[in-house]
Every structure is written in C-alpha cells, then in structure tokens.
Structure 1
Amino acid sequence: MSRRIISAVAIAAAAALALAGCSGGGGSKSGDITFDKDTKAKISFSWWGNDDRAARFEKAIAGFNKEYPNVEVVRNFNAWGDYWTARNTEAAGHSLPDVVMMDAGYLGEYSSKGLLLDLTPYRDNLLPLKGVTDNVLGSGTVDGKLQSVPLGTNAWSMMYNKDVLDKLGIAYPTADMTWDELDAFIKKVDAAGASSDPKIYGAEDYTGGFPNFIYHLMQKKNPVFTKDGKPAFTKKDVTSYLDSASSLRKAGEFYPIDRSISLSPSGGFLAGETAIWFNFSTTVLQAMTDAGTQNIGMVTPPLEDGQKSHILAPKPSMLLSVSANSKQPQAAAAFVNYLVTSPDVATIFGTSLGTPATQEGRDAVDQQPADTVNLDYLDSIKKQLTASYPILPAGYGTIEAKWGDLHQQLQYGQITTKQFADEFFSEMSMALGS
C-alpha cells in the first residue's frame, strides 16, 4: 500500500474518531457516551464463514433486535480468503463495515493503519463486557487501546488419543509432565506401536509449529514481539528450542515427515497414527471427527525445567472490531457487547466461534462431547491463564508459514538449526520490517 493511501486511511480514521467523540453525547469521558435503545440506526456487519454460521447469526441478530428494535444490522459474509480480499479493498478506501470480524493475525496490521476504533471510551455504558476478564481483553488491546474484543477464546493444549494408548497399554500423559518426561513417553509409544500396521508413533516433531514456540517463550516469561511488531526473541532462542528435540529427530523417533506430508493437512494424530497432538483446545472437535473417536483427552503442554506451574493465555479464536470510519459507533459498540456477553448467543453458537468469553456464556452451552472436553480443560487451567496472548504483528501469517516450510527442510536434514534461524530471521526482516 502506498504512503498516500495509508495517509488517507489515517486521516479518515482520525475523522471517524472525532465523530465518535461528538455524536450521541460523546466526549472524552467514557460515561458520556450513550445510545438510547429506541434510537434508529443502521450498521453493517461482516464475518467469514459458511451458510450454517450465517443462519446462526440471523438468530443472534434477532435477539439483539429484541433489545434494540430500531437498529438495522446489514449482514455480509464470505469464505476466509474472499473475506480478507474484500476487507483489504475496503480498508484502502476507508469504507470498512461498522462491525468487522477480526482475526488475531490481522489485528496488528489493521490497528497500525488506524483502521479500528478505540473502544475504551465505550466501556462504562455501551460496552461493559461483563464477565470478560482483563487477560482476555488484553489480546485485543494494542498500545493501551481496546481495538478488538474476543468473541471466543481457546488455549494451547496437548491432546491424546485414549483409544491408541489403551490399545498399547500405556498410561495417559499428565498435566505435570516435563519435556524430558514427554520425550520418554514418545519413545515408549514408539516401541509399543512398532508392530502395529501402520506403525504408531508418540508424536510428530513438536517443534514444527510456531505456536508451540510462542508457548515455549511464554513459559520463560519472555516476550514474543515488541510493541512495534518486531521479534523480541533471538536466533539463539530459535536454535536452542529446535535443538531441544534434536536427539529424537536424529533417532527417527518422531512421526515420519514423508508420511505427514502425504496426509497433509490432517497429519498423524487425525489419522490415528500418533498418540499426541499439540493444538488449540477448540480443535478437539476436529480431532474427534477426523480420528473417528470421542475418546480424546486434553492436558497442558509440558513444563519447562524447574517450572512448577504453566503460564497460559486465552487466545482469541476470533474477535470483533468497530471500524474507525463507522458513522454509528455507539450502535456498533452495543452490538459487539451483545454478541460477546449474551448467553443466548452462546446457546446459539455453542463453541463453534471458540469458547464463549464469559462464564455465563460457557454455562449456556448445550455441551456435546467435544465441548465437554474443551470446557473441562479450560476450567482446569483457569488459575494458570494469567497472561494475554501476544498481539501478532502484520505479516504474522507469512512468518508462521515460513517456520513450517523451514521445519520440513530441517526434518529432511537439508538445513541445520542455525541455517533455519538465519533464514527465518531473514524472512521476518522482510515480513515485519525488522
């Protein structure tokens, strides 16, 4: 995007913020911003998803209109790829919808361009977000400004297939495992599953995904990205992390990379050929569906050496933002508050948008087996959910994909961990401007 366009977007954002402050009784004091429930307004709302999600939103909007009968919500949705193409075009013309479904990977980019409204002044009246914790809101707060509100959350987890482990006669992994103990567990599964057809492995290489590296950094209380979207970790951090699994990698103890690629995008766990899977907790439904069993357990990932408790963060599965160009920010803020906190919305969606952000919403879910596993896990770790998930910078998707590509080369023995780190930082330099 050219500097001229970015400048225009920033000017439009500033104008929209000014309008928000002077309309509807606004001002610098949050208590001044109000919106009468009988006031007529028209707001636009866009999200990504399919027809099923659209039908559920129809029900949710009908519930909102019982409270705000004169607010018309104009709906629009697209598939994931088309959604961001449309939003990026609108962003260039400072014409985003009033309410925008936001993804954590795009939040930093849209925020840095002044496209999103600071919702902090709306908190006292229109956006109280009752029941949403500060660490959840932290994942939508950029430079002290609440620019996006998590609609649903999840947490990093270690899932295990009970059917596989029962068949092999191996005890389930526990929440107090260390990485050394997990390595021993993986070897034990490998040995027991060697005679199976196909062979059963303990896990795929757990250093293969960037989210697990983020988890690793958080356990050490290290930041992941700086406030200006640059990496807060070093090449040494990367090589040390990758080298921590080198003995298993060199010994062929991990699930074979050839087999993993042939099964892509499902992988060994979803095929029922590995016992362990690291992923966010709401993906347990995918695990049960693809692996063909409801017997999926979930515990925290391993502890670092000397660590007695985990440092976990609720990651937003998706968020809601109000655009800076909105001419109806009060109505938009009221709509966001309803979608995030209404137990009726949680009843409509269950955990399909992520785990509801409030306890009242979680209690309203008509639990299916996957919901029960996910909600029980989140309840078991609530005292360890002490951090906010890092704000992901513009270009995050590119660097996450690069990590995966480089890791495949590492598993094939085509590059060293040092070369991995060098190439990864080179990619970040281009993607993040670091």
Structure 2
Amino acid sequence: MRFGLNKSSLGIAGATAALALVLTGCGGGGQTAKVGTVEDPVVLRFAWWGNDSRAKTTLEVIKDFEAANPTIKVQGENTEFSSYWDKMATQIAGGTTPDVFAMSGSYPSEYSSRGVLLDLAKVKDQLDTSKFAEGTVDLGKIDGTQYTITAGVNSMSMVIDPVVFEKAGVKLPDDETWTWDDFADIAAEITKKSPQGTFGTTPMANDSFLAVWARQNGEDLYSEDGKKMGISEDTLTKWFELNKKLMETGGAPSASQTVEDGSAQPELTLMGQGKQGMKISWSNQMTSYSGSPLVMMKMPGESKEPGAWLRSSMEYAISSKSAQPKEAALFINYLVNNMDAAKKIKSDRGMPANTELKAGITPLLKDSQQKEAAYLDRIAELKIAAPKPFPAGSSSTLEVLNRYNTDVLFGKVSPRDAAKGMISEVNQNLG
C-alpha cells in the first residue's frame, strides 16, 4: 500500500512484561491488574467473528504471541457474524466482556457512548501506530478519542467478471469515466446478450454503499452531530430509483431472486457462480467469490465526485473493564505490527494499515488479493477523507435500508415514499 505514513502515533511498543494498573473512569470496574509470571500467566479473552478458516489462522497467531510473551495467555472466542453482536450484548450485560474484541460499522460509536470501550490513550505506550498509512489511525477515533485500532482496511468497489462480459460481447467499462446511467445500461445489455439466468448485476442495499452514494452527491449519510440523516430525500429517492430501474430494465433479477442472492454465501451468489457481470462489493470480499478470475474497478461516478474511502474492515477494541488493559494492548500491537502475524493473516481482515507489513505480505498474496491491494492504492491516491464514524443509534440503519429497498423492488412502496419513511425511521433511532 503506497499510502503516506501517519506521523502521529499512539506510542511506541513497550516491554512485554506484565504491568499493574488499577482501572479508573467510566466502566473501569476498579479491578487491580495481575502481574503475570511464566508459571501463573495473565489470561486475556479475545473475541472475533468469522469462519473456520479465520479461526484456525487466528489461533495459530495467538500461539505465536504466547510463545513470545510467556507471561500472557490468550483465550480465543470465535463466533459467526450473524450471532456475534447478540453474544457481545449478552456478555456486556452480564459483566463478562472479553478483554479484546473485534468491532465494525457503527458499533464503536454505540459501545463507546455506553462506556464499554477503553480510551486507548491509557495504553499508548503499548500501541505503535507510527508505520500506519495516512489517515488510518483516525479511523478509530470518535469525537477525538481513540477507541479502536484498525485490523485492516478495505473499501467499496465494483467487482467485474470479464468472462461474463466476453461471452455477452460487451466491452469492459472505463472506470475513470463511467456514470451510474452507464452502469444501468451495461447491466441491461449483459442480461440481454447472456444465457437465461445470467444478469448484469444485483442491487446492493448496504448503508456504507449508501454513504458513498451520498458523498458522490455532495452530502453525508449522517449529519455532523449524528442526530439525524444527512442524506436528502431527493438523493435517497434517486438511489431507490436506480435499484428499481436495474430490475425493470432486466439488468438485475427479480425482487425475489435479488433477496435470495443477498442472503446467500459468496460462492453461492450469482457472482460466485459466474452468472453476474458486475457486483458492488467490499474489496476484501472479492476473494470469497469462486469461478472466473475477477477484476476490481472503481464504482461509477467516482471520478466526478469521489465517495469511496479507506475504512476499517475490522477494528480491535479493549474493554473498559479489563483488569489487564496493558497486556491487552500488547496483544493488539502484535496483531497489527508483527510481520509473522501479518504473513499468516494476510488480507483476511483487510489490507494491513502498517505499510511495512503490507509490503511484506504482498508477494504472498493470491492474484485476486494483489488486485485488491492495487485497487486500494488507487483509492488512497484520491486522498478522500473518511466520514465521521457512523453515530450511536445507527446500527439498525442497514436493516431499515434493506426493508425499504425490498418493498420498492416488490412494488409495495414508491422510491419517494421509501426515502421519506426511511429518513423518518432512522432519525427516530438516532434521536
């Protein structure tokens, strides 16, 4: 990743010996830290979401960390994404929050507002961000306080299947010039010229993509104070209209097939089966699709008014109630700064923010991952600042968006009424 280095740092990695600390502040719990020894080590709990492959790799990295830090043991807790947040909510309510846990989306804002997350300034000597790419440290800041450290970065992208294009006799788009109208026209042309069951695209109902759409239209998804939606009714209406147009012109499948495809595992989607020409996707998900070698491009409209940004695909946080915050920080530091760990994790959690690690793992990446790295370089070159973290109360926005989009596709509500309803409902959640 060719991003410029961020000159600011949370601190320089400290010694690996266990360090005593009495937690103070919101949610501190007043617990006294244990001083670990080889015979009686400190025990940390680390929770993350993912599949079996991610779990296997993570457990290997944990063993390496323990070998290098014999006074610390780490208990790994892996959960499928669909149930991860419910499990976290239960543990937090029961006072059994893991010491270190994975975060994403609006959850850092939600959790920090409730005092669940540790202010990482308290463990700055154990966390080194001096080699992080420009802007990636700030991805973990909320109202100026550092609550998380990015585990890796990704971005919204357009994944292209060149084989589908070739079989349909359709030219690949120029992603420096194409528009959303071009996208819709190309999608319809691919479907028309392909065998039955193959489509140009499928709509993507994702709040992060909606944030890109808003930014391309000179707006933000949420207001500056996070108390209401920032996207206008007109801009949101146009987004619903695009998805409806894709279906009505044949560029996308029926409403029922779109819903089914949206809930399928990546390899079972139309894209995964080689039956889709274009798919809006997180950049690090391209490797999940099976079938033909794929290409990653910028989304339509990016050259006119860029909306995509480098974001955290996963973030690491420390519980404000952890009795061992400094050891927890040492573990996070190992995950994001150790070359051996990076060579095992590779881009599974997004491309490393540490530019030296990124350079070190690049030769080890598969072809599709190499394409992702090159794409993220292109996004970085745009030098587009990330929006503020999604605010507390916005974790349900994705569900609201999907529900209204489905109603639009099934003809139950007009795009305009969907926009009005969604803005009203999300504003109530934020309020």
Return the TM-score normalized by structure 2. 0.82
Within the alignment, does 1:256 sit opposite 2:268 as a pair? Answer: no
- What's the CA shift string for 1:241-264, capped at 9, x where partnerless? 334566555444433323334545
Specify the alignment match of 2:196 in structure 1: 197
Letter in structure 1 aligned against 2:196: D
Q: Deviations over 1:196-219 (max 9, x none)?
A: 233x3322246x443322111123
Q: One-letter code of the match for 1:216?
A: W
Separation of aligned partners in 1, 2:78 and 2:117: 19
* CA spacing shift, 1:278–1:122, aligned 2, 3 Å: same
Distance in 2 (alpha carbons) for counterparts of 1:399 and 1:387: 22
Equivalent residue for 2:28?
16
Question: Is the CA contact 2:150–2:315 (under 8 Å) kept in the aligned structure 1?
Answer: yes
Alignment-derived partner of residue 373 in structure 2? 375
Residue 127 of structure 1 is matched in structure 2 by: 127
Give the number of equivalent residue pairs.
Answer: 400
Quick check: 1:111–1:147 contact (8 Å CA) kept in 2?
A: yes
| Counterparts of residues 34-433 of structure 1 (less than 5 Å) | 41-123=42-124, 125-176=125-176, 177-193=178-194, 196-198=195-197, 200-205=198-203, 208-226=205-223, 227-228=225-226, 230-243=228-241, 248-266=246-264, 267-287=269-289, 289=290, 292-293=291-292, 295-303=293-301, 307-308=303-304, 310-365=306-361, 366-388=364-386, 390-430=388-428, 432-433=429-430
Q: Which residue of 1 aligns with 2:4?
A: none
Cα distance in 2 for residues equivalent to 1:249 and 1:260 = 9
The 3 A distance-change label for structure 1 pair 385 and 17 is: farther
Shift in Å, 1:133: 2.9
Report the Cα distance in structure 1 between the residues aligned to 2:45 and 2:27, rounded to whole angstroms: 19
Instruction: Give, in whole Å, the separation in 1 of the partners of 2:90 and 2:381.
Output: 42
SS of residue paired to 1:151: strand
With over 3 angstroms needed to count, the CA separation of the structure-2 counterparts of 1:86 and 1:187, relative to structure 1, is: closer
1:355 and 1:393 map into 2 onto residues whose CA distance is: 25
1:32 aligns with none
Superposed CA offset, 1:309-350 (max 9, x none) = 624322222111011111221111121111112121111122
For residues 159 and 316 of structure 1, the distance between their equivalents in structure 2, rounded to whole angstroms, comes to 19
Deviation at 1:385, TM superposition (A): 4.8
Consecutive unaligned residues in structure 2, runs of 5 or more: 1-22
Check whether the contact 2:217–2:235 (CA below 8 A) recurs between aligned residues. Answer: no
Q: Residues 188 and 249 of structure 2 are in contact (CA less than 8 Å); yes or no, is this contact kept in structure 1?
A: no
SS in 2 for 1:353: coil
Letter of the 1:52 counterpart: S
Counterparts of 1:312 and 1:261, CA distance in 2: 25
The amino acid of 1:319's aligned partner reads E
* Structure 2 equivalent of residue 27 of structure 1: none
Alignment check: 8 A CA contact 2:202 2:252 kept: yes
What is the distance in 2 between the residues matched to 1:163 and 1:107?
40
| CA displacement at 1:276 relative to structure 2 | 0.7
The whole-number CA distance in structure 2 between the counterparts of 1:345 and 1:389 is 30
> 1:51 Cα deviation (Å)?
4.2
The residue matched to 1:201 in structure 2 has which SS? coil
Taking the aligned partners of 1:356 and 1:152, their CA distance within structure 2 comes to 5
CA contact (8 A) 2:244 2:409 kept: no
Residue type matched to 1:197 in 2?
A: Q
Equivalence for 2:3: none
Amino acid at match of 1:180: D
How far apart are the structure 1 equivalents of 2:411 and 2:424? 20
CA RMSD of aligned residues (A): 3.1
8 Å contact kept, 2:133–2:355: no
Q: Counterparts of 1:239 and 1:263 in 2: how far apart (Å)?
A: 23
- Greater share of helix: 1
- Percent identical among aligned pairs is 23
Q: Distance in 2 between matches of 1:13 and 1:229?
A: 26
Q: Is the 8 A contact 1:225 1:391 kept in 2?
A: no
Shift of 1:409: 1.9
How far 1:171 sits from its partner (Å)? 1.8
SS in 1 for 2:320: coil
- Report how far residue 229 of structure 1 moved: 5.1
Contact 2:400 2:426 in 1 (8 A): no
Q: 1:253 to 1:89 in 2, by over 3 A?
A: closer
Q: Is the 8 A contact 1:229 1:392 kept in 2?
A: no
Q: Which runs of 5+ in 1 are unaligned?
A: 1-10, 25-34
Distance 1:186 1:64 in 2: 48
Query: Retained in 1: the 8 A contact 2:55–2:78?
Result: yes
CA distance in 2, matches of 1:122, 1:388: 25
State the Cα distance separating 1:186 from its structure 2 match. 2.5
Greater Cα shift, 321-330 or 255-264: 255-264
The residue matched to 2:26 in structure 1 has which SS? Answer: helix
Q: Relative to 1, partners in 2 of residues 1:229 and 1:313: Cα closer, same or farther, differing over 3 Å?
A: farther
Q: 1:271 and 1:50, CA in 2 relative to 1: closer, same or farther beyond 3 A? A: closer
CA offsets per residue over residues 165-213 of structure 1, 9 Å max, x none?
11122221222122233233234324423xx233x3322246x443322
> Take 1:49 and 1:349, find their aligned partners in 2: how far apart are those partners?
13
Post-superposition Cα deviations, 1:338-393, rounded to whole Å, max 9, x if no partner, equal 11121211111222222222222223332123312212221233212532254223
